[in-house]
Structure 1
Amino acid sequence: MLFEELNLIEPILKALQTEGYTQPTPIQEQSIPTILESKDLLGCAQTGTGKTAAFAIPMLQLLHQPHANVKGPKPIRALVLTPTRELAIQIEESFKAYGRNLPLRHLVIFGGVGQKAQTDALHRGVDILVATPGRLLDLMGQGFINLKDVEIFVLDEADRMLDMGFIHDVKKVITKLPAKRQTLFFSATMPAEIQKLADTILTSPKKVEVTPVSSTAEKITQSMYFVEKTNKKDLLAHILADKTIQTALVFTRTKHGADRVVKDLTKIGIRAEAIHGNKSQNARQRALTNFKDRTTRILVATDIAARGIDVDELTHVINYELPNIPETYVHRIGRTGRAGLSGTAFSFCDSEEREFLKDIEKLIGLTIPVAEDNPYAMSWQGLMAKQDKPKPKRGGGGGNNGGGGGRQRQEREPNLNGAKRTPKSGSRRWSKPKGSNS
């Protein structure tokens, strides 16, 4: 299917042509006609599927006619609520690109920066407002924002809103919206509380589901490195000595961990920057810009800060620390191998992360091949010595991942009592050292 077949108006088709878009992605193909009919939508899709365009394009078409009988500044006719500043900025940029030929005003607001420029723009009038929950509620409380005229409400990344503790703020915003409106609800996963929220605010929605969260892109080559925690920095340096790795997005579970990785890489002369919640908005945006234009080779990120980041032709993702929520692994590696390109995902697993790995492999339905080139491979003895240590708790993520789990698994790795196992293709390679009688 082509965009021309979706009954889009000429100004939008011209903008899409300028952007080089001709064929909609599956979620765009399924969502755009439904939204153009002013129906509610429940979209189950992760980042990288084209979901921003799936709601932005039809919203622009629905709103392109001026609001009738309006005196004074334009009222806010559409609200997009999203969890992170980076994602909010990218969504507003999408509205700017697709609506370049339309007389619609759009604005993005978020915390971490002064509010004057944002309030000045609100005074001039805004058709489409993209916002993060905290700053939105702040400006509503100060009387700068009134949502009584909102015709279309988009809740984006609902599951991440829950993870970040924003769900109560989201509910406060919803109480200020008109009862009669069109609601578009997007979430990569549907935990019970998110499903309950969707049931509450949607009216006879059409459900669109693409790229199930358990699937990993076929074009992504995955490798697992078993390594002691203390050797991870040396292993990362070894991998990045390969100059063919032009850019890599490195994931840690915590903000402190991200800063530590940047410090270690800087010491050995590798240009790296971190992006996480403790960084100022300007610092985060600067780091992202430097990474996109390849001034910075390595970007180290936490999951929350990286949600929604879309970097063209990103070749490598490295999981310096495995995520404690298995679905997050799929989100992380899905940032490479986009738009038909190939990608590579390396993951480091220490003895304390084996339970996380088991959950990940159960979710994606495959055994991640063990990397052959690993000068810091964890020894058989080292693994056995640490096998009976207490398992790490789930859900906390060092205060940076949001609450996400809580289930603790009791089963352990099969007893590796001595005999060498000849692996099949893609299986684990545990070998008993020569001369060992244990």
Structure 2
Amino acid sequence: MFKKFTNGCVRVVNRWLPDPFLFAIILTIVVFIGAMIGTQQTPMALVDAWGNDKGFWGLLSFSMQMALVLVLGSAMASAKVCKRVLGAIASLAKDKKSAILITTFVSTVCCWLNWGFGLIAGALLAKEIARRVRDVDYPLLIASAYSGFVIWHAGLSGSIPLQLSSTTEILGVAYQAPTTATILHPMNLIMCLVILVLMPFVNYAMHPDAAHTIVVDPALLVDEEEKSYVVDTPAAKIEHNKILWVITLVLGFAYIVYYFVNNGFNLGLNIVNMIFMFLGILLHGDLRKYVDAIGEAASGAAGILLQFPFYAGIMGLMVAANSDGVSLASIIANFFTNISNNVTFPMLTFLSAGIVNFFVPSGGGQWAVQAPIVMPAATEMGIDYGRAAMAIAWGDQWTNMIQPFWALPALGIAGLSARNVMGYLVIVLLFTGVVACLGFLGWAMFF
């Protein structure tokens, strides 16, 4: 019965889900119409909100960061040393079951520690495991690698709880909650642990039978022969100069150490990319080799560069407010807030955040949209700020499972399209949604 339902989801997604770029276009049209009806704004006002610097071009910095996550992570993984480490972990997978279990478990742990690292590490590990376990369903293996991303915002790099750990002003009111009330709260840890333990088995239960298994295309696993270099000109000698290599490494790692000394173990996206870059330079052992590795990895970033501006435009439409301060995002959030009480409030906030995240797939954007609604309501109902904020954070991460936006880096590494994996991720969405709903009800009743 379970596999029939899973196979049905896979068939529907394969048949109906368009390319992620076309998906972004369709979402744009839907949100445009919804905003026009819901907020009574003129079409030109919404066109402006979609196309201006805060809309279509509002994620330029973030787009570059995400492109670098993919490119720098892939380039680092192409170094011999990194391949050996990934190979050692992948060698633990002996059959289809262990392949899915190991990939899901490792990816989930890595994403909880840091989402940028986990997003890339999971995809790279899955690809390495596919080399060894050739009868595993490759789309399910990549979906398993991405599924770990479903707890990123409940982990150590969660942007909402980290922002709330210091005093944050919302509509002139100061809010603050320590990480012991958010990331490290017992209920948050229990919810993460349940997903960490059970999700690998949920993923394996979806594995199709031999007749419907899609094995990896061997072409995706072929490594190009290691390039040989002839150092016979002054230019070539400069490119392969070890002194320049050492100076570059000293400069980069000096700043990385300085950063952690001054900021503690606070892994932002920029410092993760810097670590990826200088570890890549170190592991390749040569500046010229690293330049070539970056060139080979860069083609995988095409989807990010094309699609992220359109998602930024969608966010612009979602938060575009009329003269009364009403936006489409606030209409959705207010609806769930108005029908809740102090027990159901976090759970319904979680569900509303999941809906909003589908159109505003950014933790920072999610907080900007919902915090002005949720946090004052939490004050009025006497609900802990940490619990209210984590409801937004869990909703933000939840619908990432069926939103191609965040899957693009992993899909670029895997050589797959969104429709190949989204059918399986629908099941992950349903499973984690049940865990979160029960978890927030338990948080209200027992803590």
Give the structure-1-normalised TM-score.
0.25
Bigger helix fraction: 2
Bigger strand fraction: 1
Structure with higher RCO (Cα < 8 A, 6+ apart): 2
